[in-house]
Amino acid sequence: MLDLFPGTQLGIGPALLEDPRYGFFYDLIAPRILSDEDLPVIEKRMREIAKRNLAYRREDITKSEALRIFAEREEPLKCELVEDKGGEVVSVYYIDGSPFIDFCLGPHVPNTNRLKAFKLLTLSGAYWMGDSERTQMQRIYGTAFATQEELDAWVKQREEAERRDHRRLGKELDLFSIQEQYGQGLIFWHPKGGAIRKEMEDYLRGELVRRGYGMVYTPHIAKRELWQVSGHEENYADSMFSPTEIEETEFRLKPMNCPFHIGIYKSAQHSYRDLPLRFAELGTCYRAELSGTLHGLMRTRGFTQDDAHIFCTPETVKGEIMDCVDFAYEVLRTFGFEKFKVELSVKGGDTSKGYLGSDEDWARAESALTDALNERGIPFERMEGEAAFYGPKIDIKVEDAIGRLWQLTTVQFDFNLPERFELEYIGEDNKAHRPVMVHRALFGSVERFFGVLVEHYAGAFPLWLAPVQVAVLPITDRVNDYARTIANELRAAGMRVEANVRSEKIGAKIRDAQLQKIPFMLVLGDREMEEGKVAVRERSRGDIGVMSLAEFREMARRLVESRALVNTDESGV
């Protein structure tokens, strides 16, 4: 930039280790507004400089010397940074043989020819120091890797991620929308997205009941005092919507479901014989996320957790944790995930985090979680100091179809809420004891899980989840009635069907069904009608043959009931 646009003022240029979309950016003020066409030109100059094999040279100089150098170079932004961040001695980096000097802690590569695989990605606006009152800057995003192969693989994955972007597919497949006039971060599930959500929920509810959970339903708001007792006012107020008042009582929208399930627990006396109690709810929560952090279905202001709270005795908690882990694996595999990364977040040595509970409690909780994972033979990474202040937790991340990791399931111990709400059960000794509480969510948020599924499948859902499972496509108007009859029979058998009786060429109808990623198409002509048959197309395999409606229905039923991930029947159809 200094070479190509003399007079450019440099701001900051950090690495973005946390953001997989980019590798780094540089904020600067150029003599003119940059456009996308400038990026290849800048990149070309970067390559030339890299090839010249110029050495990076670090110098430690006094703060006043650094201020003098940057003032002389008319770099007021760097002066401000040195003033703000520099100590008595500051480090600056030179590139010998170039006009570049930077104020930086380092380290840097020793010379420019180490920079082999990099790419500039995009431009955006930024404010100096992130302050909208301050100077407007231009931001150049880029990324860099050690080798060209790694860069190529990353670029390919990025293109693939764009092709799968749930916001784009959500629109193309008419699954959901977010509407500014109703509010940012709020999700509208359209009928097709709703059909998928219903399948997700039906499956989950069935499993919950089978595994001894009680389904509960709780309000979306509660008196402000409740959030004071729970500690949310104290620790979580920034993420909560402001209170609203009726008859001089203040209420707040719930950011979590936990206190409500506790309310159900507290509504009766419990003996150790009643435990464990497992309360599950598809609980809709609201969080006051800042607009800049919202991202499609992945980060919203209103979302539904597949939440559950387990109240049990310390003796049974390990078994409960194992059941949660088993449950999570079964659910995640059912939705087509095969690779997992498990993390166990524990307390660590830092006492400033205000951990609650005694060391003994923590040791017991950690060993319950560790033993549960070990007994299941699940490899995990111990994350020292990553536990919540109220207890240790297991997080399960899944790898999607293009190798990205998503944090979905969490299983958390809690010492805090049973204490705050003074939960009790009567033990075998006839005395009152405090139960252990486990929070767990498998999908995490239904919205986010759905977003991950859309991207994982690139919108081509397996039959059991597909919003439209079968497209009935008559070749001529003469067979429209036959098509309607077929569609009705399949609907009566519980399938989601669309009959396309528009006056279009069959090629156009098939193309349309393919674009909608409908798993099966039944192509009907005069011959199929006369013989009472259907010609079946599968979206990725094309024609798979002519069969009776009963045969097709039976094949589809088997695929749906087994929640098959590909539309290939065991029988080879």
Binding site for Zn ion (CB under 5 A): 258, 439
Bridge partners (DSSP) of residue 300 are none
Residue 44 bears catalytic tag: no
Q: In the sheet that 339-346 helps form, which strands lie side by side, from edge to edge?
A: 214-215, 277-286, 302-312, 436-445, 405-414, 393-399, 339-346, 381-384
- Residue 70 or 413 having the CB closest to Zn ion: 413
DSSP H helical ranges for 211-314 = 224-230, 232-235, 258-266
Q: Is 179 annotated in the active site?
A: no
119 closest CA partner among 90, 159, 65: 159
Q: Closer CB to Zn ion, residue 166 or residue 439? A: 439
Q: How far is the CB of 218 from Zn ion (least distance, A)?
A: 12
CB closer to Zn ion, 318 vs 439: 439
Q: How far apart are CA 224 and CA 232, in angstroms?
A: 10
CA distances from 91 to 81, 104, 114, 188, 509 (A): 12, 6, 21, 52, 66
Q: How far is the CB of 309 from Zn ion (least distance, A)?
A: 6
Q: Which of 38, 306, 307, 400 is catalytic?
A: 307
* Dist CA 463 CA 481 (whole Å): 25
**Helical packing angle, 191-210 and 317-334, nearest 10°:** 150
Catalytic residue among 9, 138, 305, 469: 305
Catalytic residue among 78, 197, 254, 439: 439
Q: From the CB of 32, what's the least distance to Zn ion, in Å?
A: 53
Closest among 549, 568, 546 to 559, alpha carbons compared? 568
H/E stretch holding 540 reads: none
Q: CB of residue 260 vs Zn ion: minimum separation in angstroms?
A: 9
> In terms of DSSP bridges, do strands 425-426 and 432-433 run parallel, antiparallel, or are they unpaired?
antiparallel
Residue 180 DSSP class: T
Per the residue annotation, which of 139, 301, 309, 517 is the catalytic one?
309
Of 393, 456, 517, 537, which is the active-site residue?
A: 393
Considering beta carbons, is residue 40 or 219 the nearer one to Zn ion? 219
Contact (CB, 8 A) for 127 and 135: yes
- State in angstroms the smallest separation of the CB of 414 from Zn ion: 7
Catalytic residue among 232, 252, 258, 306: 258
Q: How far is the CB of 364 from Zn ion (least distance, A)?
A: 20
User: Least Å distance between CB 259 and Zn ion?
Assistant: 9
- Do the beta carbons of residue 252 and residue 227 sit within 8 Å? yes
Report which secondary-structure segment, H or E, holds 409. strand 405-414
Q: Of the two residues 258 and 529, which places its CB atom closer to Zn ion in the complex?
A: 258
CA distance 507 to 513: 10
Q: Please say if 9 is a catalytic residue.
A: no
| 3-class DSSP state of 90 | strand
CB of 378 to Zn ion, least distance (A): 23
Residue 419 or 569 having the CB closest to Zn ion: 419
Distances (CA, A) of 61 to 69, 88, 494: 10, 9, 76
Q: How far apart are CA 14 and CA 27, in angstroms?
A: 9
Place of tokens 């380092």: 106
- Residue 309: active-site member: yes
Nearer to Zn ion, 258 or 497 (CB): 258
Say whether 312 is catalytic.
no
232 carries an active-site annotation: no
The radius of gyration of the chain's CA atoms, rounded to the nearest angstrom, is: 30
Annotated catalytic residue 543? no
Which residue, 243 or 255, is less far from Zn ion as judged by CB?
255
User: Catalytic residues, which ones?
Assistant: 258, 287, 305, 307, 309, 393, 439
